[in-house]
């Protein structure tokens, strides 16, 4: 299952990061640096890449 594109926090619109902590990511796969909170996947929204960004 390709989940390409980036994810944004539904609350603040910032890009979220993948949680790296083994324990945390079982429940919260994402982390929003702006809210400083871990996120469930349903708290994020996938933004498909419209153009190609290759930088």
The strand pair at 30-32 and 6-9 is best described as: unpaired
Q: Is 47 in the site for Zn ion (CB under 5 A)?
A: no
Q: Is 45 in the site for Zn ion (CB under 5 A)?
A: no
Out of 8, 15, 25, 35, point to the residue binding Zn ion (CB under 5 A): 35
Q: Is 6 in the site for Zn ion (CB under 5 A)?
A: no
**What is the closest distance, in whole angstroms, from the C-beta atom of residue 9 to Zn ion in the complex?**
3
CB nearer Zn ion, residue 36 or residue 49 = 36
Cα distance between residue 10 and residue 15, in whole Å = 9
Cα distance between residue 27 and residue 5, in whole Å = 21
């Amino acid at each position: 299952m390709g989940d390409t594109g980036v994810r944004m926090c539904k609350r603040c619109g910032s890009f979220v990061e993948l949680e790296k902590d083994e324990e945390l990511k079982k429940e919260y796969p994402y982390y929003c640096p702006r809210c400083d909170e871990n996120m469930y996947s349903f708290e994020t929204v996938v933004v498909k890449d419209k153009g190609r960004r290759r930088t």
